[in-house]
Amino acid sequence: MNKTQKNAWFSLAIFSLSIALAGHNFYCEFVAEKLPDSFLGRHWSAFAFFAIFIPAMILLRKKQSPAEVDSDERDALIRKKALLASYTSIWILFTISILILWLAVGPNGTMAVWIFPLIILEVFFIAMIIYSIAILVQYGRGGKDGEK
């Protein structure tokens, strides 16, 4: 497994966890309408994220062997195609989310300003998941060691 694949698996895990933690926080804030009283209870999801993120970044930077190549032309092409898929998904997701908000609120309704950064953040998380999946799918199309 090369560095691009490792980073794709790492991104897939981290951004999936981020969406799950954001969903839990959204549920606590808006559905249950009750936040925990303690500081740790309110911010446990941030601590959980950093407890996983920091050690994983340290482990990803280490090469398995000195002969391991960082990337080649095929890796660059795969990343370029995955970036195109991710970029396309950003526009599609952002457009759909704004249309859903417009349908929910109506043309004369109002909404809080803090909702828009949350929309942008979640669209970014989903776009990074799509980027990682696109990389892994492209590597999975080949045979042994990615050959056709």
With 0-12 / 13-18 / 19 or more C-beta atoms within 10 angstroms meaning exposed / middle / buried, residue 74 is middle
Instruction: Please indicate, yes or no, whether the overall pTM of this predicted structure exceeds 0.95.
Output: no
Identify the residue with better confidence: 74 or 92.
92
Mean pLDDT over the full length of the chain = 80
Over residues 82-101, the pLDDT tens digits come to 999 999 999 999 999 889 88
What pLDDT shows up at residue 131? Answer: 93
- Distance between CA atoms of residues 30 and 118, nearest Å: 13
What's the CA gap between 85 and 138, in Å, rounded? 12
d(CA 6, CA 59): 10
pLDDT of residue 84: 96
The DSSP secondary structure of the chain, one letter per residue, reads: --HHHHHHHHHHHHHHHHHHHHHHHHIIIIIS----SSHHHHHHHHHHHHHHHHHHHHHHHS-SSTT--S--HHHHHHHHHHHHHHHHHHHHHHHHHHHHHHHHH-TT----TTHHHHHHHHHHHHHHHHHHHHHHHHHHTSSGGG--
